[in-house]
Amino acid sequence: MRTLKFLLQKEFRQIFRDPAIIRILFVMPLVQLMILPRAADYEVKNIKLSVVDHDHSTYSRQLVSKITASGYFILNNYTGSYKEAMLEVEKDHADLILEIPASFEKNVVKEDEGTLFMAVNAINGTKANLGAAYLRSIIQDFNREVRMKWVQFPRFDPEMNLQVTSSNWFNPSLNYRYFMVPGILVVLVTMVGAFLTSLNIVKEKEIGTIEQINVTPIHKYHFILGKLIPFWVLGMVVLSLGLILARFAYNVIPEGSLLTIYVFAAVYLLAVLGLGLLLSTYTANQQQAMLLSFFIMMVFILLGGLYTSIESMPAWAQVVVKFNPVAYFVEVMRMVILKGSSLGDIKQQLLIVFGFAVLLNGWAILSYKKRA
């Protein structure tokens, strides 16, 4: 224990002696947590709309007014030429075209039906999909309002009218920040743990101090623990600062116990630090370690369920996700913070991440032995 104590003192002094590491550890994650959740929003607004109105009737004007009053659309231009509207799309001045045919109101009144044409600029697939869905919903709502006005007339052909009332469980206001902040916090903790651990050990290789350590009677497990424990402690500190910031900046208050989050985070950080340790054994300098860490982190983040639902991924990607520890922590953070899940609810994820921790650290220790 005496040897480990001296190694820990040396590591903490080495970390806090470097101002750049302090900024990377504490300033960068908090700044990113302040910026990213405000920008990463699934809700699409300010969709630029071009309307081609061949009818110029009362109904067509009411429909356009209803669309622009929704708050999702900005009326880019109102014209009678589809060619002119398409030119706006080609210039990227419009995202959607709504074409209202001639005799639209007449067909609706006399034949109980009308046809509208919608063209979508699909370069931005997300914006196109959501914009088209918003517009379709508004048109259906307009159709329902028109039919309700006709109920009093005997010629109205009644048909079954279903009304759906929805309720948003665990996030009643459907606030995307409540959904994104826990996931972004997981990514930041992961980056701090994996990046800094790998860079710290590789730096020892570059300056030659690891050679000096290897010829001392320090046991290998002392060296490994001396490298893991400081960044484990710092990772928990970053998590705590992130939770405090989420509480006061975004009003994100965990429904579940903080103990559940910290128990899972403690095991998770062991897995992430083991990954950083493993990367350091296969790289010769800091550039290699950084590039390799960046490659793996990109895969972890994009396949971690932070921005895309895992269930909507292709089958092969869902298999890859099973080997992604980030996906389990993102899932657990959302379960505890939004749903109030307990340790019993997350025991499966906890056991899997514990398995990652044993595998990655064991692999790193064996690999380090070959190269020592």
Q: Where are the domains of the chain?
A: 1-40+175-367, 47-150
- What is the number of other CB atoms lying within 10 angstroms of the CB of residue 64? 18
Distance CA 96, CA 73 (A): 9
- In this prediction, residue 370 carries a pLDDT of 47
- pLDDT for the residue 39: 77
Class of domain 47-150: alpha beta
What integer pLDDT is reported at residue 352 of this predicted model?
Answer: 96
Per-residue model confidence (pLDDT) at position 151 = 60
Kindly list the averaged pLDDT for each block of 10 residues, start to end, along the chain of length 372.
Answer: 81 81 80 82 80 90 89 88 89 89 84 84 80 87 79 55 70 80 89 81 78 75 83 91 91 92 95 89 84 88 84 88 93 92 93 94 78 46
Q: How many CB atoms lie within 10 A of CB 339?
A: 15
State residue 152's pLDDT score.
58
Q: How many CA atoms lie within 13 A of 32 on its CB side?
A: 20
